[in-house]
Amino acid sequence: MSSLTDKKLNKDRYSQRGTSIAQKDRRLAWPRMGNISLSMEVIANTLGAKPVIPPANTNEALEIGVKNSIEGICLPYKLNLANYIMALEKGANTLIMFQAPGSCRFGNYTKMAQKTLQKMGYHFDMVVFDMYQSKIKQAIEALWHVTRCINPYRYYKAFSMGFSKAFAVDTAERLMFYTRPREINRGDAENCYKKWFKIIGDTNTIGGCRKLKKQIIEDFGKIPIDKNKIVPKVYLLGEFFVLLDPYTNQDIEKTLGELGIEVERQIFFSDWLEHVLKPSIFYRKESHRERCVRFAKDYMKRAIGGECIETVGDTVYAAKNGIDGIIHVMPFTCMPEIVAQNILPKVSKKEEIPVLELVLDEQTGKTGNITRIEAFADLVIRKKLRKENEIKK
């Protein structure tokens, strides 16, 4: 392929234009996914864009997504499409999305969504970038296409605050997961998290954002907990979107915490952001992906896309490090996670670790899942108590 063709493809990657929009009139939107909007909003504002935040995922959003999606497509796509529609209805005219390689249909989300939205009569620009190709370079080029900002300091400020907010909110989540099953007064951990979530959203200086993490740790440390309580630890792993979105995973982390289980989610937005954007020469330790590849080698020879190898590798790692159980969540028809789903029974048997599979789509009833989660929680609690009694003997 000629270098001229390469340049044309690279240019087209950032803009699949549906209309012509003046920079001053651009109103930028992106899909809801976990707490991504905390970082994206401050980045967009700092670079001079006008962000449009779609409402949080709800039954209304799901209904819109299902109505306008092809049959058999996965739940994350349906909600992403609904986010786009709701943002366009609020005045957005520029939609931004990243993509990834592999067997996951995620790489085709934007093309499918663009055609669907155009058929529905919407006029917009779709800005797509593959951060796995050249890390932060792709992100900066995509943001430049949207904002035309040429001030290096504003990029530094935008990414500094965006990263700091991501790490701060994920720190608060981790501490909530640890504190919730041990708290003396039910609700203290969640109230503390909600308080800091608002503070993180309202903080808009580099210095203020960098102080957040330390302040959050200190505040959670004041919550009264039962330090002697025997609390099993369960790894929550699976597909990226359903792990990060509480509506999609039916708030499973809260359910487990209230059952006396400490959740350790294996994917956080800040960890993924650092892995994708940070140049590999700056890694001082083995990355999460590298660890998973190493531990999955007896069951998988290579990554096939999505979070498949992470799911398998984290399960093996958990078994070898005293974790009490695994809950694997995935969207119905998710191709990489279907592969992992078929490998996990072998891993569970060989590594002697219980695994609960939860497959989610718009038809999934919460009551049925809670019954299965409660039974699994009872299993791991009894397993943990038996282990502790054997140690005492």
| Pairwise CA distance, residues 232 & 327, whole Å | 13
Residue 40: CA atoms inside 13 Å, Cβ hemisphere, count? 22
The pairs formed by 43-49 with CB atoms below 8 angstroms and a separation of 24 or more are: 43/143, 43/158, 43/159, 43/161, 43/162, 44/147, 45/204, 46/154, 46/157, 46/158, 46/161, 47/143, 47/146, 47/147, 47/149, 47/154, 47/155, 47/158, 48/147, 48/149, 48/154, 49/143, 49/146, 49/147
Contact 315, 326 (CB under 8 A): yes
pLDDT at 275: 67
Angle at 201 between CA 185 and CA 137, to 5 degrees: 130
* Ordered per-residue pLDDT tens for the chain, 393 residues: 344 444 444 444 444 444 567 777 889 999 988 888 999 999 999 998 899 998 889 999 999 999 999 888 889 999 999 999 999 999 999 998 877 665 677 767 788 889 999 999 999 988 887 666 656 777 788 888 888 888 999 999 998 999 999 999 999 999 999 999 999 999 999 999 999 999 999 999 999 999 999 999 999 999 999 999 999 999 999 998 899 999 999 999 999 999 999 999 988 888 777 666 666 666 667 778 889 999 999 999 888 878 899 999 999 999 999 999 999 999 988 888 999 999 999 999 999 999 999 999 888 878 889 999 999 999 999 988 888 777 776
Q: How far are the Cα atoms of 43, 260, 324, 348, 373 from residue 318, in angstroms, in the given order?
A: 35, 19, 8, 11, 19
pTM over 0.75: yes
Q: In what order do the strands lie in the sheet with 27-29?
A: 16-17, 125-129, 94-98, 27-29, 50-51
Q: How far are the Cα atoms of 65, 244, 292, 307, 371 from residue 60, in angstroms, in the given order?
A: 9, 19, 37, 28, 25
